[in-house]
Structure 1
Amino acid sequence: MKDGLTIGQAAAFVGITVKTVRHYHRLGLLTEPERDHSGYRRYGSADLLRLVQVRALAGAGVPLAEAGELVDAEPERFAAALDDVHRRLTAQIEELTARRDTLHRLAHGDRALLPDRACAVLDRLVELGFSPDYVTTQREALVLSRALAPDVFDLFLAHLEHRLGDPEFVELTKRGWEARSWDPDDPRIEELASAVAANLLADRALLAIPPARQHRPDAASRYGVVNHHREDEAPSIARLNGLVEAHLRAAGVPIPHQ
């Protein structure tokens, strides 16, 4: 290597592109060699050594703005800087892993927005023969519930899990969903509301609302968003839910007023 290497040869030897070598020059990571009598810049072994060092640091995740300083650093400073890069790369890996897991959950419906326990409840609804539209609406309501009432979400899930083990509750709920197609003044709605309220009141413990939740100034609004989700699309359902709530209030259950 008496006369040195051309920029193309140096780049090829190190395993980078000529464009990258020139970029290193612009950043001041590598001093441009003097031109020979033919007008070509010739790269010596020291130049190649520095190119290898900078490439290795960049490949390890060290920002190019820091690479030049590190190449010239004392061993202690170099080791400390690499430790810092290691910590940053570990944090990036953890973030990317979390993003990958989120994408995986998104590929399975709303599992990115709901815990496994809630997804199990939705799976149970499917097993019990509820229609896809009903399951979708309940999925949306669970997402809202988790976001707006996270402090009681687990309690709500526990109550729902218990009620889904009651065949009468399941049958009444299915009839309630069928009521979407009824006229709002259909007398069957009043009968169904009475039956639903009676079923709920048979296990009053599941209707208990934590005192802290009752006294929140926005409790009624939060309750309304979740429990009256999509009512505007079905007037008969709105009437049914209103009648059920009226029965529960009459029985002393503190249902918030909208």
Structure 2
Amino acid sequence: MMNGVTIGQAAAFVGVTVKTVRHYHKLGLVEEPERDSSGYRRYGSDELLRLVQVRTLATAGVPLAEIGPLLDADAEQFTTALADVERQLTARIEELTARRDTLHRLADGDRALLPDRAVALLERMSGLGFIPDYVSAQREALVLARVLVPEGYDGFLAQLEHWLDDPEYVDLTRRGREAESWDPDDPRIEELATAMADHYLAHRTLLGNPTSLRAWANASAQYRLINNHRRDQAPMAARLTTLTEAKLRAAGVPIPRQ
């Protein structure tokens, strides 16, 4: 009667493939048994036990390169090593959870690139009747601002919230979008710029808090990139912004130059 089982039987008993068993041999995790008189390798209880131990640790997430030293360690070293593996797995789980959350946010459009507070602002703009192109431009500006001027981002969101809470400002902004259909020399552009600047100066919270203003004042290059985004698609609105900002600078407001 032959002692032990074939590699195929050993693999089946342990719950892995023959290829996996051979891989364990190649890495030195399980010694290959000697061949019997018929030339076959027969796996006995010692080899099967080692296979079970290796498979269990591998399934638990222990890297194969660490399994050999782990199995050969004493009880104290084994416990310490397992604790370290657990920490690594916890970190990996947190990373994978964050990736999964990002995928969920991707499925929800804006939420992959913007925080919930910014998404809520975009939804408010749509609810207030701003046209899709305007909301889209604001979405892109919010994404750029978050990356380019992170220290001023919360202040920027607060500023937008103040804007949308102000019916007169919302009306002025809507009129600014209507300016795209005006003639470049239309005197209403200058009049609207004056009205917007006067409204800002009369309601200073619309200009942002001091911290946010400093952040933007120190990021003139980033400000230009954001402010000039889509400029060619809305030239009248861009001109209106330039005129309004010039009037605010003349009043001492620290707005970066284009």
Q: TM-score, normalised by structure 1?
A: 0.91
Structure 2: which 5+ residue stretches go unaligned?
none
**SS of structure 2 residue aligned to 1:35:** coil
Contact 2:216 2:255 in 1 (8 A): no
Cα separation, partners in 2 of 1:214 and 1:6, compared to 1, 3 Å: closer
Letter in 2 for 1:166: D
Mapping for residues 16-165 of structure 1, pairs under 5 Å = 16-165=16-165
Aligned to 1:221: 221
Task: State the Cα deviation string for residues 143-202 of structure 1 (Å, max 9, x = none).
Answer: 222222222222222222122122221111112122234332333322222222222222
Cα separation, partners in 2 of 1:7 and 1:180, compared to 1, 3 Å: same
Aligned to 2:180: 180
**SS of structure 1 residue aligned to 2:165:** coil
Q: TM-score, normalised by structure 2?
A: 0.91
**SS of structure 2 residue aligned to 1:164:** helix
What's the offset of the Cα at 1:238?
Answer: 2.0
State the number of aligned residues.
258
**SS of structure 2 residue aligned to 1:52:** helix
Letter in 2 for 1:68: G
Cα separation, partners in 2 of 1:192 and 1:172, compared to 1, 3 Å: same
| RMSD (CA atoms) | 2.2
Contact 2:149 2:219 in 1 (8 A): no
**SS of structure 2 residue aligned to 1:156:** helix
What's the offset of the Cα at 1:63?
Answer: 1.5
CA distance in 2, matches of 1:208, 1:34: 79
Contact 1:213 1:219 in 2 (8 A): no
Contact 1:33 1:42 in 2 (8 A): yes
Cα separation, partners in 2 of 1:209 and 1:14, compared to 1, 3 Å: closer
Structure 1: which 5+ residue stretches go unaligned?
none
What's the offset of the Cα at 1:208?
Answer: 5.7
Aligned to 1:4: 4
Contact 2:217 2:256 in 1 (8 A): no
Runs of 4+ in structure 1 off by over 4 angstroms are 211-218
CA distance in 1, matches of 2:216, 2:106: 33
Task: State the Cα deviation string for residues 7-37 of structure 1 (Å, max 9, x = none).
Answer: 1111111111111111111111111111122
Cα separation, partners in 2 of 1:211 and 1:45, compared to 1, 3 Å: closer
Task: State the Cα deviation string for residues 90-123 of structure 1 (Å, max 9, x = none).
Answer: 0000111111112222222232332222221111
- Between the aligned residues of both structures, percent identity stands at 68
Contact 2:70 2:78 in 1 (8 A): yes
